[in-house]
Structure formats: C-alpha cells, structure tokens
Structure 1
C-alpha cells in the first residue's frame, strides 16, 4: 500500500512487528486492520506503517495511533478491527486496550506505574 499523496491523512498507524508482537500474531493484526480500513473506505485518511520493536513487549501486540499518540496493547485481529471502526472512523478510542496516551499532559493510564486515570485527574482538578 504505497501512499504518495499524504494530503487528507488524519491518522498514521504504526504496527509493531518486533519479536514479541510477531509471536502473538502481529501479521494477522496488520492484515485485519488494513482489511477493515479498506472495508470502511478509509484508506485515503489512514496511513499504515510496520515497525520493528516499539519497546512495549509486555503489551504485545502493540499499535500506535498518531497524531493523537495513543498506544494500544494486547491487540488481536478483532480488537484491531474495533480500533479502526470505533477510534479511527468513529472518533471514540477503545479505552480498555489503551496503555498510554499523550492526552492530558502526557499522563500514563492507570494500569502503569507512572500515571493515573483521566477520570481521577479530572476529579482532582475540580476539588
């Protein structure tokens, strides 16, 4: 899938094809997500790139979405299709599979040591 003209692109997906992700089905995730992008007729708005290791092996399979900076974990072909439909086309991220996002001053998600949830951050800001 060669893209010469990037005008109109809204999202850039990076598929991790490092060792851990490959062992957990990265190739099938790539195929499913690219297929869903075509089914949704979104290939003129979504560009995809395979990478080597993205350094999040414990989260395999890993997908990152830009320009938002959303890192998805434990992506299967079915979850990948949901990410395309719900996040990339529909605008609603698949929250239960997000491991990290640049949103809210680069704060990490609650399941990581570094961060707290957006809900807790908002609650703390209103007190």
Structure 2
C-alpha cells in the first residue's frame, strides 16, 4: 500500500463505489477520473478515494469534490471527463450536475434533486 505525500494536494475527490453506484457505472467513472487526472498531470494536486455508500443512491453514481463540498449526481464516463477538466483543472464546478453545494455552514440542494430522508428519521 502506498503512503502518499499530500502536501501539494488542493482537491480531494470521493467516488462512490457502493453497490448502487457500482451498478450505475462507478468503476468506469473511477477509472476515467483517475486516468484524466494523470493525463492532465494533476496527480500532485488531486487525490481520489473510493468510498462505500454515500447515502445518495438515487443520485448515483455520486462524486464529491472537496474542499468545495460539491456533490455531483448521475456521473458517467463523459461527465467524469468534463468534470476533471472544468472543476479539477480549471476550478470551475459544473453546477448543472451538482446536487448539493456548501452554502455558508450548511449544504444547499440544487437542480431540483430529491431531498431524501432527514438524517435521524426512520426510512
């Protein structure tokens, strides 16, 4: 296992690899994002992490970019490529694909996405 030097990192991309997102192309999205980061020589600035379920299965495949806290929905290979160029390389989030973004100290729902169950409520 590698232990990366993260001192030059300025973005962290969390790619959902939970079961629903995997059925919706999570593996392909993961590989495209990682390949595009390498192709564009962004490896030192952008770190990626595969996650388990992020709790937004209806939005699958989910990709989250920090420090902005932009939660991308319905990511596929084409969107993944465009997101790397626009957001990770040029620092311009693709807002029409963002379900949630940070607004002050809270998250704000965008693009008419399904709100979901309140945390703490029974499903």
TM-score, reference length from structure 2 = 0.86
Distance in 2 between the 1:111 and 1:54 partners? 19
Gap regions ≥5 residues in structure 2:
116-123
Instruction: Work out the number of aligned pairs and report it.
Output: 114
Deviation per CA, 1:57-115, whole angstroms, max 9, x where unpaired?
0000000001111100000011011111000110111111100011345322141466x
CA distance in 1, matches of 2:85, 2:102: 21
Q: Give, in whole Å, the separation in 2 of the partners of 1:85 and 1:100.
A: 20
Larger radius of gyration: 1
| Misfit runs of 4+, over 3 Å | none
- Structure 1 residue ranges without an equivalent (≥5): 115-127
- The structure with the greater share of residues assigned to helix is 1
State the alpha-carbon separation in 2 of the partners of residues 40 and 54 from structure 1.
Answer: 27
Query: In structure 1, what is the equivalent of residue 112 of structure 2?
Result: 111
RMSD: 1.6
SS in 1 for 2:109: coil
Q: Which residue of 2 aligns with 1:8?
A: 8
Match of 1:23 in 2: 23
Judging by fraction of residues, say which structure has more strand. Answer: 2
Partner of 2:64: 64
Measured in 2, the distance between the counterparts of 1:70 and 1:81 equals 16
Shift of 1:8: 0.9
Structure 1 equivalent of residue 40 of structure 2: 40
